[in-house]
């Protein structure tokens, strides 16, 4: 263990609760503010440094799902009024999918400042500061109006040919120059890695440069664990910030809501710090207490299970495709969340298998990304690329689902600078089409936000609406069309706004009482609901499913220590005559962590299944009921784990009765390939037990 008693180091590492992104990435923004707040009753006790509770899809998409966006944001911010809060906005797009006039941006930031918003994280996917300027100016205006609100210099990072350490530093300098010019008080630097795929060594070099040029500023690191790299990149940020005396904050989420396509676990991140091989890192243990959230775990697990059909089910085949494409955490949720999109893709691909359809989208997106010049995998770019991939798949089969190519505005330069590698033929095509329709065509001279159409006053006067209603109309517009927002306001004002039934929580039938007045009796016929409740109900079943998922990921080698020689960053270093540092001590530490987490999950799963007989006894089952419950219990467990990870019941679920597994997701058991002797030698006792019993 390293000891550096005589060296200075930055203070405790901060943990930021990014619950907004957890519900967006894993549950498709389907839980309401009520459902979110029910899971966060202990938030004060956890003492997170800050809480990201708004922005992203927590406005536009809320309306698409038949809910009141302003009402839900009012409710959430009132609950968090005594806690530090922040929101994430997409430059001039804010929380929509089109640019907004400066007066709309000003009004939006002012409204949230009135709600108590403290920090605005304002990003552009390719770090074009021209697109960020309008929101920064709006924050300055809110400060002048007396609000305690700040902006954060924000850059997007990922393993992408358009992003280098130098280009990222250039963007930070440009943002700082703008802040100095307009007199904006800021609050540090935010590094946003939306697709979860960036080389840890890139992080180390970037931190070194930040320490040189922005000494004394706090750096916040945001990533996702959908690519298995979140702990490796976070560890790189932790060590680099310690080496260079940088105040560091990490975006995390409460453990039951973590992983999947969302952020890393707060509990595991604290373990990573507290058990680190470097004593300097250990000395920076976070003051936040993730364990204080445990009283809320039951509700978190139950809610996640209730929205399981919105979450992308794990399989190595699909996750490998997502990794190769570098898709962002919530991209597959976009495909599943837009009505009719997944069904159209299935038709175009000629499959009824969701996984095969999503893999086809991944492959199509790889091709689309190259034509578009490899924009970063963060919305609105990620949404645009995914929709372009779907557009290409459908167009090839003669299916029309979009009025125009989703990439058109981007390729005409309306979203900021277009990468030089973008298809010139596509730009010429869109330029000609736009000019023929009376448009300006392609331009690299971006209009500023105050030069755009549809100012706040224009919208208010034209539609006779309030400021908040005008913001709704602007945020939901598509070009000059505001029909979607107008329909939403009509439904809201006439009390006819109804939540889309497809977005509501839905527990499996075995977790739903067979009758409203049902109660268990040892003298009556045993219901599957009784069996599921004896197993612990929704919270225990979801926790068990997450443990089995960890076993699956461990066997598949999901967690990584680096991207490696094939990364854009590694090739860039090679072009500069620099080899990639080995960092073997960090890699070995990470591998030990991953193995430990898998062993913990394996032990918990074993203990759960070993205790089933006792659970039945404690619930009051008679001996004959216990015997009859085994088959149904196995079906319940098979269903919850197979909904979380494809074929998990065949690979990792300890069999309660030979050959009895859920058929709902996996088809015939004969599809399972029996592993050879070498593969068996690498499998866990838990898996071997499953194979021997099936």
- Confidence label for 399 from pLDDT (cuts 50, 70 and 90): confident
Q: Is 164 helix (H, G, I), strand (E, B) or coil?
A: coil
Q: At residue 670, does pLDDT exceed 70?
A: no
Alpha carbon separation from 24 to 297, 307, 315, 317, 343 (Å, rounded): 19, 12, 21, 23, 21
State the pLDDT at residue 687: 39
Alpha carbon separation from 487 to 66, 68, 492, 495, 496 (Å, rounded): 11, 12, 9, 12, 11
Q: At residue 251, does pLDDT exceed 80?
A: yes
Segment 622-640 mean pLDDT: 91
Say if residue 380 is preceded by a cis peptide, omega within 30 of 0: yes
Residue with tokens 């300098």: 173
Segment 204-218 mean pLDDT: 97
Kindly tell me the burial class for residue 179, based on how many C-beta atoms sit within 10 Å of its own C-beta (0-12, 13-18, 19 or more).
middle
Segment 465-472 mean pLDDT: 96
Q: At residue 3, does pLDDT exceed 80?
A: no
Q: At residue 378, does pLDDT exceed 70?
A: yes
Q: At residue 7, does pLDDT exceed 50?
A: no
- Residues 652 and 668: their CA atoms lie apart, in Å, by 17
The tokens of 348 are what? 């175009």
State the pLDDT at residue 651: 81
Q: HSE on the CB side for 319, CA within 13 Å?
A: 24
* CATH class in words for 14-310: alpha beta
Segment 425-437 mean pLDDT: 96
Segment 60-88 mean pLDDT: 95
Q: At residue 665, does pLDDT exceed 50?
A: no
Q: Which segment of 69-78, 258-267, 339-348, 654-663 scores lowest on mean pLDDT?
A: 654-663
- Confidence label for 400 from pLDDT (cuts 50, 70 and 90): confident
- Confidence label for 2 from pLDDT (cuts 50, 70 and 90): very low
Kindly tell me the burial class for residue 658, based on how many C-beta atoms sit within 10 Å of its own C-beta (0-12, 13-18, 19 or more).
exposed
CATH of 316-450, one of 1.10.472, 1.10.1740, 2.60.120, 3.30.70: 1.10.472
Q: Which residues lie across from 90 on neighbouring strands? A: 94, 123
Summarize the chain as % helix, strand, coil (round to 5): 55, 10, 40
Mean pLDDT across the chain: 90
- Are 390 and 360 spatial neighbours (Cβ–Cβ below 8 Å)? no
Within 10 angstroms of residue 655's Cβ, the number of other Cβ atoms is: 20
Model confidence pLDDT, tens digit, residues 138-157: 999 999 999 999 999 999 99
State the pLDDT at residue 113: 97
Q: What percentage of the chain exceeds 90 in pLDDT?
A: 80
Q: Where is 55: in which H helix or E strand?
A: strand 50-55
- Residues 306 and 301: their CA atoms lie apart, in Å, by 9
Model confidence pLDDT, tens digit, residues 527-585: 999 999 999 999 999 999 999 999 999 999 999 999 998 999 999 999 999 999 999 99
Within 10 angstroms of residue 486's Cβ, the number of other Cβ atoms is: 17
Model confidence pLDDT, tens digit, residues 303-351: 999 999 989 899 999 999 999 999 886 677 667 767 778 888 999 999 9
Segment 65-85 mean pLDDT: 95
- Residues 187 and 122: their CA atoms lie apart, in Å, by 12
- Confidence label for 9 from pLDDT (cuts 50, 70 and 90): low
Q: Which range has highest mean pLDDT (52-61, 585-594, 605-614)?
A: 585-594
State the pLDDT at residue 690: 37
Q: Which residues lie across from 15 on neighbouring strands? A: 250
- Residues 654 and 605: their CA atoms lie apart, in Å, by 8
Q: What are φ and ψ of residue 141, in 5° steps?
A: -65, -40
Q: At residue 692, does pLDDT exceed 60?
A: no
Residue with tokens 């507290």: 274
Residue with tokens 């000891």: 3
Crossing angle (nearest 10°) for helices 129-144 and 102-114: 50
Q: Which segment of 90-99, 432-441, 550-559, 662-671 scores lowest on mean pLDDT?
A: 662-671
Nearest partner of 333 among 26, 22, 666, 5, judged by Cα: 26
Q: At residue 680, does pLDDT exceed 70?
A: no
* CB neighbour list of residue 513: distance below 8 Å, 6 or more residues apart: 529
Q: What percentage of the chain exceeds 70 in pLDDT?
A: 92
State the pLDDT at residue 477: 84
- Confidence label for 5 from pLDDT (cuts 50, 70 and 90): very low
Fold match between 14-310 and 316-450?
no
The tokens of 681 are what? 């030698």
State the pLDDT at residue 691: 33
Q: What are φ and ψ of residue 308, in 5° steps?
A: -65, -30
Q: Which segment of 18-32, 63-77, 667-681 scores lowest on mean pLDDT?
A: 667-681
The tokens of 133 are what? 């300027």
464-471 contacts at long range (C-beta below 8 A, 24 or more positions apart): 465/489, 467/107, 467/111, 468/70, 468/111, 470/104, 470/107, 471/104, 471/107, 471/108, 471/111
State the pLDDT at residue 565: 85
The domain limits of the chain are 14-310, 316-450, 509-693
State the pLDDT at residue 571: 95
């Amino acid at each position: 263990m390293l000891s550096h008693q005589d060296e200075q180091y930055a203070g405790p590492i901060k943990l930021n609760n990014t619950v907004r992104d957890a519900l967006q990435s894993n549950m498709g923004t389907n839980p309401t503010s009520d459902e979110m707040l029910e899971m966060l009753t202990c938030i004060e006790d956890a003492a997170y440094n800050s809480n990201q509770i708004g922005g992203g899809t927590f406005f536009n998409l809320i309306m698409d799902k038949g809910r009141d966006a302003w009402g839900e944001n009012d409710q959430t911010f009132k609950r968090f009024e005594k806690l530090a809060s922040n929101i994430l906005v997409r430059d001039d797009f804010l929380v929509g999918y089109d640019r907004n006039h400066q007066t709309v941006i000003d009004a939006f930031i002012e409204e949230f400042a009135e709600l108590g918003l403290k920090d605005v994280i304002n990003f552009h996917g390719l770090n074009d500061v021209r697109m960020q300027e309008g929101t920064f100016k709006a924050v300055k205006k809110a400060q002048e109006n007396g609000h305690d609100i700040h902006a954060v210099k924000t850059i997007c990072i990922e393993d992408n040919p358009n992003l280098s350490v130098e280009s990222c530093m250039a963007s930070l300098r440009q943002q700082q120059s703008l802040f100095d010019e307009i007199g904006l008080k800021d609050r540090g630097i935010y590094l946003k890695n939306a697709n979860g795929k960036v080389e840890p060594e890139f992080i180390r070099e970037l931190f070194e440069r930040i320490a040189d040029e922005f000494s004394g500023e706090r750096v916040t690191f945001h990533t996702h664990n959908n690519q298995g790299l979140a702990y490796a990149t976070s560890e790189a940020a932790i060590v680099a910030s310690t080496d260079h005396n940088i105040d560091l904050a990490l975006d995390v989420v409460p453990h039951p809501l973590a992983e999947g396509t969302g952020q890393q676990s707060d509990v595991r991140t604290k373990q990573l710090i507290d058990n680190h091989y470097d004593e300097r890192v250990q000395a920076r243990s976070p003051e936040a207490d993730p364990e204080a959230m445990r009283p809320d775990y039951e509700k978190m697990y139950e809610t996640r299970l209730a929205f399981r059909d919105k979450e992308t089910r794990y399989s190595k085949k699909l996750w490998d495709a997502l990794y190769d494409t570098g898709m962002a955490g919530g991209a597959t949720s976009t495909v599943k969340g837009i009505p009719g999109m997944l069904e159209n893709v299935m038709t175009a691909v000629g499959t009824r298998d969701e996984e095969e359809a999503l893999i086809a989208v991944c492959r199509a997106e790889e091709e689309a990304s190259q034509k578009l010049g490899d924009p970063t995998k963060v919305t609105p770019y990620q949404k645009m690329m995914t929709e372009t991939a779907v557009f290409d798949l459908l167009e090839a089969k003669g299916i029309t689902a979009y009025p125009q190519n989703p990439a058109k505005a981007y390729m005409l330069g309306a979203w900021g600078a277009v990468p030089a590698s973008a298809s010139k033929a596509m730009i010429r095509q869109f330029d000609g089409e736009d000019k023929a329709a009376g448009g300006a065509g392609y331009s690299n001279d971006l209009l500023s936000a105050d030069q755009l159409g549809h100012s706040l006053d224009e919208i208010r006067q034209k539609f006779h609406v309030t400021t908040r209603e005008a913001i709704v109309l602007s945020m939901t517009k598509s070009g000059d069309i505001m029909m979607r927002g107008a329909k939403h306001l009509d439904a809201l004002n006439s009390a006819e706004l109804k939540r889309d039934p497809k977005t509501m929580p839905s527990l499996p039938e075995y977790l739903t009482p067979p009758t409203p007045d049902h109660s268990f009796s040892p003298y009556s016929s045993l219901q599957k609901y009784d069996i599921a409740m004896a197993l612990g109900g929704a919270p225990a079943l979801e926790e068990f499913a997450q443990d089995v998922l960890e076993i699956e990921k461990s066997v598949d080698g999901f967690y990584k220590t680096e991207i490696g020689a094939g990364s854009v960053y590694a090739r860039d270093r090679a072009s500069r005559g620099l080899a990639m540092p080995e960092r073997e001590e960090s890699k070995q530490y990470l591998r030990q962590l991953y193995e430990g987490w898998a062993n913990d999950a394996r032990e918990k799963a074993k203990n759960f299944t070993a205790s089933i007989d006792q659970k039945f006894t404690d619930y009051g089952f008679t001996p004959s009921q216990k015997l009859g419950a085994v088959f149904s219990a196995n079906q319940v467990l098979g269903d919850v784990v197979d909904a979380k990870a494809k074929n998990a019941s065949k690979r990792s679920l300890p069999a309660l009765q030979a050959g009895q597994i859920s058929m709902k997701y996996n088809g015939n058991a004969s599809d399972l390939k029996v592993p050879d002797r070498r593969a068996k030698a690498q499998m866990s006792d838990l898996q071997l037990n499953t194979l021997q019993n099936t």
